A and B are shown apart, each in its own frame.
Chain A
């Protein structure tokens, strides 16, 4: 048993200015020996950023020293109640996998979530509202600037699951050229004020809500699917009601400004159908992607549809496929 001389003292504690020093070389990202895939090791380090009076905790996934130094980083944010590791550690898996291809990755806790300071969100609706209305986008943009300054990073991919995707879109709008791409995992495009009853829902909103409800339930999903297709036929080309227009408009603006998006959705569920309708209404194409590596810089919206999974991607093949596909997508920026 060895006691670190640093424990219970502050010596050698990182305060932010000397976190990484990658050797510049070109070691292969993945080595295959005797049929076993060996991926480069990734070290995890903790970082503290500040925003106003709050301390923001983040985990830094540092790529192997032999990897080529990347001036691009991935920043993932909370989906809501789950700490920065994500639901079922999905964010950790993604960050590990992306760092394995040489892109440093950061996962951060918003104020009031996980290990960060701040007033805790008591209910899910509170966080959903905050994601759409509170200055969480300011937190993200500010932490991204601090990250870039601290680690010599030029551009970032920002993203998250559900409400985290919403904050990422809003944050990316503030970042300008700093944002190289968006990572949207089941983005919560529905207006949170409607969900919490803050504003009255119209007829179309109510109809769409019922259809979504039917489709989500196992026993009524086929009826719901048919009803939705019929409804969408009538609605073709119209933006769905009940969505957060501010968020969707920001996404459209970013896409038109050539900020590429990695979009992952659970096929047949709420955000698959919503994203498809938003894409039709705004005139951009959802390009299907697989898990294979793509060596050209991505453009537009690359969409990964996963069957047999749920909104949190905790079922089926999602926990494996999303990190692989996202790593390939991130690598193509190099």
Chain B
């Protein structure tokens, strides 16, 4: 794959340039945005986003997150999966395996372009997190942040359930495209996930789901990195907005984990410190997870772009930590 830039715009804030174009392979053109800081650090963040309606809801938040990271000095690259948004291809022909294969090729190209000296960090959101976990488990990338940890079928079931509820509420339940008997009826047959997985086609959130998408999804499970993995990774659980806005912390695994406080005088690390409280006694390279009382920005909500400053700070601080570690080495 190679990068084919079309336009670039200079951001008024922080002097970060954004470049828009396509990453072109033999069979596909994927739309990308490259956020280029003026003075770039050693960490390059590749954002793997969600699909379908979740992409729409999360889009602006991800744009803001990318801009926030770029203003901190990180190269950020985000792109659309095949058949979705600005990328070419048909959603109907896509599978998670195909998206993962595209991601692999994009990441390989990024490494070639950004120079292999830069540390590649995956930032996966929902479906992007699943794909990032697979790539990371296969040895790609130097660090990873996962927002969401669902398996392939769980993520698809989630999406279809939400679409079904919304459509049923409005009397427009999703229906099988081959169900001719209901074609002219206002009371169309409801197609649940079980029917889809049994081989029926259906429109979910406007996208035509083919049986292959669902059957193939069974092969994709979220692969949480080993605690023995020396590469840093962070699993962020967003718990939604709670009335009690107290920050909570939950660790996965039995090993004590957290980020080292040493050499962390920067404001970014201070922000992360507030998230993880006083449990900063672990090895900075130890795998860990945090939970935040922050909105799940990919879900439907009256808030188009929720306040996610804390999340942005936490991710920025974590990236900063990786950079400090690299410098120390």
B150 within 8 A of partner (CB): no
Distance between B135 CB and nearest chain A CB, rounded to angstroms: 16
A residues 55-101 touching B (CB-CB < 8 Å): 55, 57, 59, 80-83, 85, 87-90, 92
A333 within 8 A of partner (CB): no
A residues 225-265 touching B (CB-CB < 8 Å): none
Given A123-B303, A308-B186, A310-B170, are A82 and B59 neighbors across the interface (CB < 8 Å)?
yes
Give the A-B contact count at a CB cut-off of 8 A. Answer: 172
B60 touches A218 (CB 8 A): no
Residue of A nearest to B6 (CB): A46
A294 within 8 A of partner (CB): no
Residue of B nearest to A42 (CB): B88
Which one of B7, B22, B91, B170 has the highest number of Cβ atoms from chain A below 10 Å of its Cβ?
B7
A293 within 8 A of partner (CB): no
A38 within 8 A of partner (CB): no
A residues 4-27 touching B (CB-CB < 8 Å): 4, 6-8, 10, 12-15
Q: Interface readout for B284-322 with A: 1 if CB under 8 Å, 0 if not? A: 000000000000000000111110000000000000000
Q: Interface readout for B31-43 with A: 1 if CB under 8 Å, 0 if not? A: 1011010000000
A87 touches B56 (CB 8 A): yes
Tell which of B36, B114, B184, B205 touches A314, judged by Cβ atoms closer than 8 Å: B205
B residues 9-56 touching A (CB-CB < 8 Å): 9-13, 18-22, 29, 31, 33-34, 36, 52-53, 56
| C-alpha spacing A236/B8, complex, angstroms | 54
Given A120-B64, A122-B305, are A319 and B113 neighbors across the interface (CB < 8 Å)?
no
B1 within 8 A of partner (CB): yes
A217 within 8 A of partner (CB): yes
Q: Size range of the interface on A?
A: 35 or more
B203 within 8 A of partner (CB): yes
A47 within 8 A of partner (CB): yes
Given A1-B2, A8-B36, A120-B60, are A88 and B7 neighbors across the interface (CB < 8 Å)?
no
| C-alpha spacing A117/B14, complex, angstroms | 13
User: Which residues of chain B have C-beta atoms less than 8 A from A221's C-beta?
Assistant: 171
B169 within 8 A of partner (CB): yes
Distance between A5 CB and nearest chain B CB, rounded to angstroms: 10
Tell which of B11, B57, B85 touches A89, judged by Cβ atoms closer than 8 Å: B85
Chain A interface helix/strand/loop/mixed: loop
Tell which of B7, B22, B171, B174 touches A48, judged by Cβ atoms closer than 8 Å: B7
B3 touches A4 (CB 8 A): yes
Given A121-B305, A216-B170, are A82 and B7 neighbors across the interface (CB < 8 Å)?
no
| C-alpha spacing A45/B206, complex, angstroms | 24
B11 touches A55 (CB 8 A): yes
| C-alpha spacing A13/B305, complex, angstroms | 31
A218 touches B168 (CB 8 A): yes
A10 touches B57 (CB 8 A): no
Given A1-B108, A14-B7, A48-B9, are A217 and B20 neighbors across the interface (CB < 8 Å)?
no
B8 touches A13 (CB 8 A): yes
A114 within 8 A of partner (CB): yes
Q: Interface readout for A293-334 with B: 1 if CB under 8 Å, 0 if not? A: 000000000000001111111111011000000000000000
A34 within 8 A of partner (CB): no
A113 within 8 A of partner (CB): yes
A277 within 8 A of partner (CB): no
Which one of B2, B5, B168, B206 has the highest number of Cβ atoms from chain A below 10 Å of its Cβ?
B206
Tell which of B1, B18, B52 touches A115, judged by Cβ atoms closer than 8 Å: B18
| C-alpha spacing A3/B109, complex, angstroms | 7
| C-alpha spacing A312/B57, complex, angstroms | 14
| C-alpha spacing A48/B63, complex, angstroms | 16
Q: Interface readout for B72-97 with A: 1 if CB under 8 Å, 0 if not? A: 00000000000011101001000000
A87 touches B303 (CB 8 A): no
Distance between B299 CB and nearest chain A CB, rounded to angstroms: 12
B112 touches A3 (CB 8 A): yes
B85 touches A85 (CB 8 A): yes
Given A3-B3, A120-B304, are A44 and B86 neighbors across the interface (CB < 8 Å)?
yes
B304 touches A81 (CB 8 A): yes
Which one of B10, B31, B203 has the highest number of Cβ atoms from chain A below 10 Å of its Cβ?
B203
Distance between A147 CB and nearest chain B CB, rounded to angstroms: 14
User: Which residues of chain A have C-beta atoms less than 8 A from B52's C-beta?
Assistant: 88
Distance between B294 CB and nearest chain A CB, rounded to angstroms: 15
Tell which of A13, A127, A217 touches B7, judged by Cβ atoms closer than 8 Å: A13
B142 within 8 A of partner (CB): no
Could you list 17 examples of A-B contacts with CB < 8 Å?
A: A3-B112, A4-B2, A4-B113, A7-B2, A7-B5, A7-B113, A44-B31, A53-B12, A81-B56, A89-B206, A90-B206, A114-B60, A117-B9, A120-B64, A123-B303, A217-B169, A315-B203
Extra inter-chain contacts (13) besides given A14-B7, A46-B7, CB under 8 Å: A4-B113, A8-B113, A81-B56, A82-B59, A120-B305, A121-B305, A217-B169, A217-B171, A308-B172, A310-B166, A310-B167, A310-B170, A319-B203
| B interface residue numbers (CB < 8 A to A) | 1-13, 18-22, 29, 31, 33-34, 36, 52-53, 56-57, 59-60, 63-64, 84-86, 88, 91, 108-109, 112-114, 163, 166-175, 184-186, 188, 203, 205-208, 302-306
